[in-house]
Amino acid sequence: MNDPEKTAGLFDCREAYVATLEALAEADTRIVAVVNDSVGSSKLGGFRKKFPERLINVGIAEQNMIGVGAGLANGGKVPFVSGAACFLTGRALEQIKADVAYSQANVKLCGISSGIAYGELGPTHHSIEDLAWLRPMANLTVVVPSDPWETGEAIKAAAALDGPVFIRISRMPVPALQHTAERFQIGKAETLREGGDVAIIANGTMVWRALAAAEALAAEGVQAKVINMATLTPLDEPAILDAAKTGAVITVEEHSVKGGLGGAVAEVLATQSPCPMRILGFPGFLPTGSAEFLMERYGLTAAGIADAARDLLAR
């Protein structure tokens, strides 16, 4: 896989997505790309050049795009359907539910520029409800990679899985993490740091921030366990129950506090192993502002996560 685009040690996960997709397409002629007039933002220009007859641009018509993807899957193709996460999910939710999830169509949905990556464009472009919409859907695997390596691994795992998958791919620059797993496994969480005082469960762009928070806490003598919960559906319940053994759990996500990772973890803990918990994320409505401004405002920084851990332990 080609090296992802990088800025001062930070990487764009979209680059890992397209590099992996191109490599898969070289080996498997069934793989096609479908986009909603987003070849540029989905970084699929290279794919179009290499495989001009295997990229379908449906224009700004997300509902039709899902139908095209489902039709291609029914015809034996393996379509990777890409678009800005806010529009891919919000505009075509019924089609995702009926044509892809309920029908168990072999479609790979790639929500690009998820979360608050389009912060300056305002609430219409925030994608902080997508996981809450998709997580309850039957048959749909939901994955939220944390860095370029995990993004590439998730794309390969999705291609190998016979069934519908949603992969949430950020455009926000993130550092490459030191993973403990040799390969990505759907439904399997990854413990990146051991600790017995508090557990921090994160996914996506919040994983590296959770690790930074754990480093800060360690300097104070607080040992935080950090778990990368990249697969939201199916959920690794044993990993959550193991985290509860610390006595305190914090979830962190670039998503609404309702219905995403925090909600999924809370469901497990409430029914199987109740313990003190904090859910860190965004409220139901966000203002316009840069991603970093919004992260800072709502405590989704290393310092904010560490403060939440201190408060939880103090209580």
Active site residues: 62
* Angle 5-181-220 from CA coordinates, rounded to 5°: 85
Phi-psi region of 109 (alpha: psi -120 to 50; beta: other; left: phi over 0): beta
Please enumerate in sequence order all residues whose Cβ is within 8 A of that of 7, keeping only pairs 6 or more positions apart, or say none: 173
Buried b (16+ CB within 10 A) or exposed e, 23-52: bbbeeeebbbbbbbbbbebbbbeebeeebe
Q: In the chain, what is the straight-line distance between the N-terminal and C-terminal CA atoms, in Å?
A: 47
Instruction: Give the dihedral sign, CA 157/3/131/236.
Output: positive
Is residue 288 within 8 A of residue 119, CB to CB? The reply is yes
Q: Give the Cα separation of 173 and 151 in Å (integer).
A: 13
